[in-house]
Amino acid sequence: MRYLPKSDSERREMLEAIGARSLEDLFECIPATHRLREPLRLPGPLSETGIIEYFRNRAAENSVGYTSFLGAGIYDHLRSVVTDALIQRGEFLTSYTPYQAEISQGTLQAIFEFQTLMCQLTGQEVANASMYDGSTALPEAALMAARVTGRDRVVVARSVHPEYRQVLGTYARNGALRVEEIPFANESGQIDLDAARLAVDGQTAALAIQSPNFLGVLEQVPVAAEIAHKQGALLVVVIAEAMSLGIARPPAEADIVAMEGQSLGLAPSFGGPFAGVIATREKFVRQMPGRLAGQTVDSAGRRGFVLTLATREQHIRREKATSNICTNQALCALAATIHLCLLGKEGIRELALQNVAKARFALAELEKVPGVRRAFAGPVFNEFTLEFPRSVKLINRELLKEKIIGPLPLGGFYPDQTKRGLVCVTETTPGAEIERLAKVLRGILEKPV
């Protein structure tokens, strides 16, 4: 398909057909003060070679040769060329969300398989056909919990990704949710259980935690579930690093899992597009946002796929819909499905173990650096918080000179944590680069400020 703008003669033809003399005439109903009276200030057209040249130059602005130790919600994992080759097939790449669902059997089958894989990973009974991303999956889970319980209070751990909490705050401000935050324990980095017990009461719809949390620490999901369930609240478990499920215990005690699927075969890009996941118990399925693809048999007994539960979506239920999500991230969900199928059960476990091994090695190497210590004692997956003898921002400035993108300074998110930074290593981080980080860091800290 070609996306060429209309020609002048086509414009004239269309204007004539509706009886307008000019474009200005067509927009007459808009008050003149709100109309643009000059053409948009855009650069002129370029030739094909000119365009290629332009983008080549822009691409050259990208930094190369840097080693990054950033994670914090977006993770650099190995991706197979097979995934990109398959998702670029026209049938998948150009198809829009299946409103005429059943003619798109291939799309529905892919969605069905995605849902199945998400259930297997999360230990839940049903998973929807994707949300936009992890950050929007959290407020959707909170709203869902409010519908299920008939309550409006949501208790969120401060160790949930700060940007996810901001998105939740936006939904709450304009909706019917009251959000309260609880601290994490200074020693373990896990949620403060006493604070959670105090905060969760008979008006609480959900307790929301993240595991591994934003500080890198795995939470005790069964304990949190017990606290929530004792008060009739639901437990929402946020997962920003889906790869952790290759080895971590699935959050089966959660009532709703709100997950970011980026780690499963999607490139970090510039922060998107990714695929969010909502997985839950079957008994809550009618309060779940989005839609489900289901497997069935046709009149001749052959296997086929249908969209189920679409009846509660916005295009049918209007203002009474369970959510304002209209489409989904079908292509990203497909990429995750292909990636997981390529890895297989053994593959994802092995990859997850490599992450754990890398993190252990990095921790050991970095803790040897005088003045550097592990900030939290709780168990970690591929990310951990370190405490430094000086501001992480100052350290990073020096690391950058050595082409190292250093730890994420936590001070920007937690004002009392300016000397703490989040380090992430994955299977893609060379061991030698971890050793180099430790060496350069040692050099920086030996020099007086």
Partner 1 sequence: MYPSDYRYTKEHEWIKVEGATGTVGITDYAQHALGDIVYVELPKPGAKLEMNQSFGTVESVKAVSEIYSPVSGEVTEVNAALATTPEKVNSDPHGSAWLIKMKLSHPKELDSLMDAAAYQAYIDEQQKEASA
Q: Which residues form the interface with partner 1 (CB under 8 A)?
A: 286, 311-312, 316-317, 320
Cβ proximity to partner 1: between 249 and 317 the closer is 317
We find the least distance from the C-beta atom of residue 315 to partner 1, in angstroms, to be 11
Is the CB of residue 403 less than 8 Å from the CB of residue 360? no
We find the least distance from the C-beta atom of residue 311 to partner 1, in angstroms, to be 5
Q: φ and ψ at 214, to 5 degrees?
A: -65, -20
Cα dihedral value 11, 17, 22, 28, nearest 10: -120
DSSP tag of 422: E
Distance between CA 264 and CA 269 in Å, rounded?
14
| DSSP per position, 153-172 | EEEEETTS-HHHHHHHHHHH
CA max distance for the chain: 79
We find the least distance from the C-beta atom of residue 316 to partner 1, in angstroms, to be 6
Distance between CA 329 and CA 133 in Å, rounded?
8
We find the least distance from the C-beta atom of residue 293 to partner 1, in angstroms, to be 14
We find the least distance from the C-beta atom of residue 175 to partner 1, in angstroms, to be 20
Q: How many CA atoms lie within 13 A of 428 on its CB side?
A: 16
Pairing of strands 404-405, 178-182: unpaired
Q: Is 387 exposed, middle or buried (0-12, 13-18, 19+ CB in 10 A)?
A: middle
> Which residues 6+ apart lie within 8 Å of 328 measured at CB?
97, 111, 128, 129, 130, 131, 132, 275, 290, 291
We find the least distance from the C-beta atom of residue 319 to partner 1, in angstroms, to be 12
Cβ proximity to partner 1: between 243 and 307 the closer is 307
Cβ proximity to partner 1: between 6 and 315 the closer is 315
Cβ proximity to partner 1: between 302 and 320 the closer is 320
Q: How many angstroms separate the Cα of 353 from the Cα of each of 123, 158, 377? A: 19, 28, 20
Is the CB of residue 384 less than 8 Å from the CB of residue 363? yes
Cβ proximity to partner 1: between 165 and 312 the closer is 312
Cβ proximity to partner 1: between 59 and 297 the closer is 297
Cβ proximity to partner 1: between 211 and 280 the closer is 280
Cβ proximity to partner 1: between 196 and 309 the closer is 309
We find the least distance from the C-beta atom of residue 317 to partner 1, in angstroms, to be 6
Q: How many angstroms separate the Cα of 184 from the Cα of each of 49, 196, 215, 386? A: 55, 10, 10, 16
We find the least distance from the C-beta atom of residue 154 to partner 1, in angstroms, to be 23
Cβ proximity to partner 1: between 316 and 326 the closer is 316
We find the least distance from the C-beta atom of residue 312 to partner 1, in angstroms, to be 6
Helix, strand, or coil (residue 79): coil
